[in-house]
Structure 1
Amino acid sequence: MTTTDRDPVTATTGRDPATATADRYTVISADCHAGADLLDYKPYLESRHHDAFDAWADTYVNPYEDLLADTADKNWNSDRRLAELEQDGIVAEVVFPNTIPPFFPSASLMAPAPTREEFEQRWAGLRAHNRWLADFCAAAPGRRAGVFQILLNDVDEAVKEIRWAAAAGLKGGLLLPGTPPGSGLPELYSSAYDPIWATCAELGVPVNHHAGSASPPLGDEPAARAVFMVETTWFSHRALWHLVFGGAFRRHPELKLVLTEQGSGWIPGVLDMLDYYHGRLVAAATRASTAESKFGAGLAASMGKGPSEVWRENCFVGASFMRPHEVPLRDRIGLDKIMWGSDYPHDEGTYPYSREGLRIAYAGLPRDEIAAMVGGNAARVYGFDLDHLEPIAAKVGPTVEELAAPLKEPPADATSPVFAAGGRVRVW
């Protein structure tokens, strides 16, 4: 099967996430990636950094094969990107970073800066990416919600960048770095970050925490990549309980947290666990002094509502390409919380078989539920205008009939894990 012998795909939620426009869906991918070609960041740097950038770029060796391949321009070629996403049935996207920002050894925001000068250069590199991203999103009005980057080492500078990004129209919100062991930063539950949460809540800026952005360095031993795969989602999940137990949502009730590309099947079990510890520790704190009472001291007052209630009111999941085993949990996760994503242009993403990926997960579900998960929820969280997207979806979106048909055989050359073993691979 090729991508040219099928009807184009889209999913729509219409104005109401419980409706679809005509006979097609409006599909918004809540997980895509982009960035500038290395040298194209230079115009976005302040001129005082140009000589240092030239020296850095002359010796830089990109560690990522997909950014060296002929297809790397999917990250920055706006016309190609629009065409391929439409071909895949997608009309809008939330755009996370992908390429290496200036002065970084890799894409990791936690890469330590040995000197103050290097730290300042890395801030300049992130600002350059954010400004490039604003122009990239402006090249496709209403169809891209850019996710901007900050560092946590300087909260005042982070707040300034949040305000700039919101004014520049980067509706995808903030990419929250992790604070893995060895980072030297306060943990995410620390009140030191309150100015960041307050600014995001004030401006309606979503806080996104993406898989892979919170793991500690593991070295180059043969087992390192396997251990990274086992642990990376757990390190990413940590942001949830840090912010919940840290009381960020009590102090800033308008704050929105989105956990992206971390799977979704883990959420009900983790919420049960967090509710258990919350109830147990709060209860223990009311009893006579015991070893356990100390663990719960002050917890109820500092965090306010329980974890499940916070999830219902403040949190969302960028579930990327949902696996079939996760879909039956949608009511426990929250049907209004789930946002599908294609992970374009990554090899593990569903392109060019997003229609098939949607079918393997959602075939047989009620139309309004599919519409919410593939577009309506993302439109609400990231501020997409469904009236603007509807005419595009009417041309390229997957039909209701198409997504209703179960997928009998996955495409032979598909690379996304959603198709592995019939999509039964679990992501914990």
Structure 2
Amino acid sequence: MSEDLIVSVDGHIVEPPDLFLTRLPGHLRERAVWEEDLLIEPLGEDGRTHFRKLHTPGFEGWTNSAYPHFDGSPNTGQPDRIIADMDSEGVWAQVMHPNLSFFGLYSDDHDRSIGHARVYNDYVAETFGAYRDRIAPTAPIPLTNLDDAVAEIERAAGLGLRAILLPAVSPVPYHARELDRVWAAAQAHGLVVAFHVATGSVKVDKKASPTLRALIESVRMQSQELTDDLVVGRILSAVTKQSFVPQQIIASLVGGGVTERFPGLHFVLVEFNANWLVSFMAAMDKAWTLGVGQDRDFWVGTWDDARPDGDQPGMAQVFRLNERWPYPLRPSDYARRQIHVSFQEDPVAVACRHITGVSTLVWGVDYPHPEGTFRRSREAIDVQFAGVSPADRAAILGGTTAGLFGFKAPAAV
């Protein structure tokens, strides 16, 4: 992969199992995210014996195989081992997000969430500061208290972090004007704003969070007979549910005028795939376009016989609303200018780049997660980028992300 400058916008830092147990203030430690190492007899023919069990409200019992390095040894989040994995994959630089600490960062318990964020941001600044030419950790920012959110953005910038990470599902709508303080702080420090799939909306008094319930259902389906209902449901979930949250984020940022008021901000939506983006951009514009076939003077509504003809508030020229878009650029123009959506394997998104704009698409390995392309990125790239021009390929695979996060290409040898 030496001919490509690969910059992944989607990696995850495997945190020390006791990071929050040892670093949170004492009164918060009983609410900490922590992991238990499990060495067990193999569950299947793959022979895997090293597992990790999560302990935290809403996710108690979540257990998965330990993430492997390229050589098969367990991933412990050490920077030099991450760099070695990146080298094995041909990835020059990587934007990296939390891993299981996601489950403590965006809950309805503010003290718990901001406590986890402060510990995590300190940890990644200390641990990865010497590797900033190749690794850019994001700084998670809970939005359950905006004074604390702005203060943590300021602090994260002072720590040298280059991006903030907000929950995909926010306690405050992203078009709410009260969040202008957050956007202003990020813009003032030149920080990228990222959102990661499947984050937010954790309620600590619920035994099983929506994410854990989805995991339980996914595991249950593995042992079920493959029925028509199951197949249809899985397709509909992939088509409708998975794209709803990123579309809501973009609609809020563009429709709420955030992109107009803060033109210096760039927003990266991580691990949402991007095949839905082309139709969504078209639909945003269509909602505010008076088409050739639309009679702008056509009236429709409900008639009130008790009112005079000239006073019928239930009637309106229905298509005139299409002309009332409140901002100078079209919705799709703001998306092309400031929105970036990441994918791992999405050839449809690549094929639609001439419509969405090349800069709206950025690539990520999703290291070291099993649903990503780690240990087979060359195959994924070759399949998706066959016939793509060198300029477009370079932009999507690394150029756009490198520009956003300040990564420089390695010096020629």
Q: TM-score, normalization: structure 1?
A: 0.72
| Cα distance in structure 2, aligned partners of 1:120 and 1:67 | 30
Contact 2:368–2:374 (CA under 8 A) maintained in structure 1: yes
Shift of 1:292: 7.5
| Cα distance in structure 1, aligned partners of 2:79 and 2:387 | 35
Shift of 1:157: 1.0
| Cα distance in structure 2, aligned partners of 1:192 and 1:284 | 38
Which of 55, 60, 65 aligns to 2:55? It is 60
RMSD of equivalent CA atoms: 3.4
Q: Taking structure 1 as reference, are residues 266 and 43 closer, same or farther at Cα in structure 2, changes over 3 Å only?
A: same
Which residue in 2 is equivalent to 1:77? 78
Shift of 1:164: 1.3
Q: Taking structure 1 as reference, are residues 176 and 355 closer, same or farther at Cα in structure 2, changes over 3 Å only?
A: same
As a proportion of its length, which structure holds more strand? 2
Deviations 1:39-71 (A, max 9, x none): 1345544xxx13642685599366443475676
Pick 1 or 2: higher relative contact order, CA cutoff 8 A, min separation 6: 1
Contact 2:136–2:161 (CA under 8 A) maintained in structure 1: yes
Which residue in 2 is equivalent to 1:368? 391
Which structure 2 residues correspond to residues 91-170 of structure 1 after superposition, within 5 A? Answer: 91-100=92-101, 106-107=103-104, 109=106, 111-113=107-109, 119-170=110-161
| Cα distance in structure 1, aligned partners of 2:65 and 2:323 | 48
Contact 1:318–1:338 (CA under 8 A) maintained in structure 2: yes
Which residue in 2 is equivalent to 1:203? 189
Q: Taking structure 1 as reference, are residues 376 and 39 closer, same or farther at Cα in structure 2, changes over 3 Å only?
A: same
Shift of 1:236: 2.7
Unpaired stretches in structure 2, ≥5 consecutive residues: 37-53, 203-208, 219-233, 300-312
Between Structure 1 and Structure 2, how many residues are aligned?
348
Which residue in 2 is equivalent to 1:384? 407
| Cα distance in structure 1, aligned partners of 2:124 and 2:237 | 29
Shift of 1:86: 0.5
| Cα distance in structure 1, aligned partners of 2:191 and 2:296 | 35
Shift of 1:278: 2.6
Matched position secondary structure for 1:300:
coil
1:353 and 2:348 correspond = no
Contact 2:67–2:368 (CA under 8 A) maintained in structure 1: no
Which residue in 2 is equivalent to 1:257? 267
| Cα distance in structure 2, aligned partners of 1:298 and 1:74 | 55
Which moves more between the two structures, 135-144 or 221-230? Answer: 221-230
| Cα distance in structure 1, aligned partners of 2:290 and 2:268 | 27
Shift of 1:196: 0.6
| Cα distance in structure 1, aligned partners of 2:137 and 2:295 | 44
Shift of 1:221: 7.9
**Aligned AA for 1:332?**
I
Matched position secondary structure for 1:336:
helix
Which of 29, 37, 50 aligns to 2:26? It is 50
Contact 1:336–1:377 (CA under 8 A) maintained in structure 2: yes
Which residue in 1 is equivalent to 2:227? none
| Cα distance in structure 2, aligned partners of 1:335 and 1:221 | 33
Contact 2:402–2:408 (CA under 8 A) maintained in structure 1: yes
Which of 155, 166, 174 aligns to 1:176? It is 166
Unpaired stretches in structure 1, ≥5 consecutive residues: 1-8, 11-23, 114-118, 395-428
Deviations 1:311-330 (A, max 9, x none): 122111223x2422322111
Q: Percent identity?
A: 23
Which residue in 1 is equivalent to 2:243? 233
Contact 1:95–1:145 (CA under 8 A) maintained in structure 2: yes
| Cα distance in structure 2, aligned partners of 1:55 and 1:95 | 25
**Aligned AA for 1:318?**
S
Which of 256, 261, 266 aligns to 1:246? It is 256
Contact 2:167–2:195 (CA under 8 A) maintained in structure 1: yes
Shift of 1:215: 7.0
Q: Taking structure 1 as reference, are residues 341 and 222 closer, same or farther at Cα in structure 2, changes over 3 Å only?
A: closer
Contact 2:125–2:160 (CA under 8 A) maintained in structure 1: yes
| Cα distance in structure 1, aligned partners of 2:201 and 2:95 | 23
As a proportion of its length, which structure holds more helix? 1
| Cα distance in structure 2, aligned partners of 1:292 and 1:97 | 50
**Aligned AA for 1:233?**
S
Which structure 2 residues correspond to residues 331-342 of structure 1 after superposition, within 5 A? Answer: 331-342=354-365
Which structure 2 residues correspond to residues 2-81 of structure 1 after superposition, within 5 A? Answer: 9-10=1-2, 24-42=3-21, 44-45=23-24, 49-50=25-26, 52-53=28-29, 56=32, 60=55, 63-66=61-64, 68=66, 74=75, 76-81=77-82
Contact 2:259–2:338 (CA under 8 A) maintained in structure 1: yes
Shift of 1:297: 10
| Cα distance in structure 1, aligned partners of 2:285 and 2:186 | 26
